[in-house]
Amino acid sequence: MKAPLTFSLLLGLFLSSCTKSSRTESPDVIATTTMIADMVRVIAGEDVSVGALMRPGVDPHLYKASPADVSKLNQAKVIFYNGLLLEGKMEDLFERLAGDGKAVHAVSDSVPESRRLARQDTEGHPDPHIWGDARLWASTVDDVVAQLSATFPDHKEDFEGRGEGYKVDLETLHRWAEKRVAEIPEDRRKLVTSHDAFAYFGKACGLEVVGVQGISTAADPSVADRTRMVDFIKANGITAIFVESSVNKALIEQIATDADVSVGGELFSDAMGEPGDVRTVNGDSYDVGTYIGMLKHNVNAIVEALR
């Protein structure tokens, strides 16, 4: 029953990578992660075509650009990426594209030094997961608007309008998140996940965050990490821990078994969900394929589990 599906899927993948993508024209604007792509789409509206390199569920720390990706990047007019080494394996590529005169913009450039969270282990590289904090994310909108306006000056006013609207939405989102998290008793506001991707998020909402792995999923967790995490969970009376959509679940699930706690849910850490996947919690519907939906989903899942 599943086999024909599998093979047609494979066949489809083969064909789609073999033939020139003349079905859809290469977009004018390319963003790397789904979160960035979402923001750019909101700002750009119908005026400009926007594409994302990474699909939902893809881990940006480990992503390597394929020849098809490089071709898309070459054809685009503007490129947006996160920076701060989130797309760890594509840095060289971005440098080269910038050197070739392309408009390449790192969203994290908008974040001032003071608001970047420094990490101990990665030789002074700050934490790249800046989208966790909705307010911080909102502060990057202006630069994106400016960049788009510079390349497509005709739509400048539309971009600015939509940008302002988006910033308001993000502020609303932030306040909502804070309020919800406040529902969790203070001593239970601890979030345990696969990797340390929620530092900004935790800081924005008031949660302490601990990951089994560090900022990047590239390094493998060790047996010692597992035992220490179990200790931590028990010592702090944590009742639920969380898996992530883009990282291997096996370790968290195993730790949950070891520590006799439940897996509270799946969070979207480095990638959003499927566009069109609409969920409803407490009467509020949202599409987890959008940034706002993603954040709402995360907050709801965490609050429901830890409350």
Q: Which two tokens mark 255?
A: 């730790």
| Residues 43 to 72 in contact with other proteins, rule: CB under 8 A | 55-59, 62
**Does 18 sit near other proteins (CB under 8 A)?**
no
Region of residue 22 (phi > 0: left; psi between -120 and 50: alpha; otherwise: beta)? alpha
Question: In this chain, which stretch among 24-32, 41-49, 72-80, 252-260 interacts with other proteins, using CB under 8 A?
Answer: 252-260
Of the candidates 124, 223, 280, 282, which one interacts with other proteins according to CB under 8 A?
Answer: 223
Question: Hey, what amino acid is at 264?
Answer: G
Total residues at interface with other proteins (CB under 8 A):
68
Question: In this chain, which stretch among 35-43, 147-155, 198-206, 290-298 interacts with other proteins, using CB under 8 A?
Answer: 198-206
Cα dihedral across residues 62, 64, 69, 70: positive or negative:
positive
**Does 176 sit near other proteins (CB under 8 A)?**
no
Q: How far is the CB of 142 from other proteins (least distance, A)?
A: 17
Q: In whole angstroms, give the CA distance from residue 43 to residue 61.
A: 26
DSSP 71-101: HHHHH-SEEEE--TTTTGGGHHHHHHHHHTT
Q: How far is the CB of 230 from other proteins (least distance, A)?
A: 7
**Does 245 sit near other proteins (CB under 8 A)?**
yes
**Does 231 sit near other proteins (CB under 8 A)?**
yes
Q: Give whichever of 102 and 232 is closer to other proteins, judged by the CB atom.
A: 232
Of the candidates 30, 90, 138, 229, which one interacts with other proteins according to CB under 8 A?
Answer: 229
**Does 274 sit near other proteins (CB under 8 A)?**
yes
Q: Which two tokens mark 214?
A: 């560090």
Region of residue 213 (phi > 0: left; psi between -120 and 50: alpha; otherwise: beta)? beta
**Does 264 sit near other proteins (CB under 8 A)?**
no
Q: Which two tokens mark 117?
A: 């969270």
E strand residue ranges, 188-303:
190-195, 208-213, 240-244, 262-267, 278-281, 284-287
Q: In whole angstroms, give the CA distance from residue 54 to residue 37.
A: 9
**Contacting positions for other proteins (CB under 8 A):** 2-3, 6, 9-10, 13-14, 55-59, 62, 114-121, 178, 182, 189, 195-196, 198-199, 202-203, 206-215, 219-232, 235-236, 245-251, 253-254, 257-258, 274
